[in-house]
Structure 1
């Protein structure tokens, strides 16, 4: 019995002291503190800009605006409209945004591609009958969220521009 225990102990000692070839290096882990992958040490930053738009019949109540920076096919674009200003504080709303009239509905809407964003009026109302306050000098903020961080948006209230700006570390908007 002693002999069996000695053999098992020697075999166990030999197996635990052996070392095989080193495998390939692994990827850096996800940092739960700040939510960024530490793979290359780089910081992924959202690009954003602000634009003032005049909708009219001449432009078919739509504006195409190129980004002016690289946007990847998997990136996501969010568009906010300056809805009101109260006590000097800007109130932003995520589009699409509806305005209801007795004669129909006006919708501020958008779509986007890899090269530009299109801002347009939609709805059932005759746009030509709208007061200029609904069509002229409309201010929009466009935020492009890199696809690497789309999963992080699951628990984020994207309707609140301040929370998106804070999450994506957007400190200022370039006016076009």
Structure 2
């Protein structure tokens, strides 16, 4: 009899707990802000000449807001490989050093502020003897990303294609702007 009474009591409590949920409770406090990964990439083509002292200053486009804590990554378009699906761009993260046949070296490098990026040649060679392959019509992609993005160990920032894919997956209106 005790067992039947206990069973009936348990059934009564289970049935009693299946009523309406009731009114919602009060709103809780605001949680911490999440990480908002908004990155921007733009492309420029520049010439390195004696007239510009083998360097050029690129202002960030007005529509790109750059904070002092943002990370600026610069990539050199090093080659374009033909493929049956279309050309494949080969990008290298700066600084990028080339070792010349005479034992000297030349490097593409950059500095930046939250207003602009300076692209320049560095090295121990006479830049006027480099020829147009190193100095004229050099294309760069400049990526501005939050520090949290650049410090993420799951993202290989040396791989331009991976950076583009991750940024595009996080932003509906992502595109690479080409500056004239």
Query: Is the pair's TM-score, using the shorter chain for normalization, greater than 0.5?
Result: yes
Give the TM-score taking structure 1 as reference length: 0.74
**What is the total number of aligned residue pairs between the two structures?**
143
1:137 paired with 2:131, answer: no
1:59 paired with 2:58, answer: no
Work out the CA distance in 2 between the residues paired with 1:158 and 1:120.
21
- List structure 1 segments (4+ residues) > 2 angstroms apart after TM superposition: 147-152
1:156 paired with 2:155, answer: yes
The SS at the match of 1:58 is coil
Structure 2: gaps (5+ residues): 1-25
Work out the CA distance in 2 between the residues paired with 1:124 and 1:116.
26
Work out the CA distance in 2 between the residues paired with 1:159 and 1:45.
18
Structure 1: gaps (5+ residues): 1-21, 30-36
Work out the CA distance in 2 between the residues paired with 1:60 and 1:135.
11
Give the TM-score taking structure 2 as reference length: 0.73
Q: How does 1:102-121 map to 2 (within 5 A)?
A: 102-103=101-102, 104-121=104-121
RMSD over aligned Cα, in angstroms?
2.1
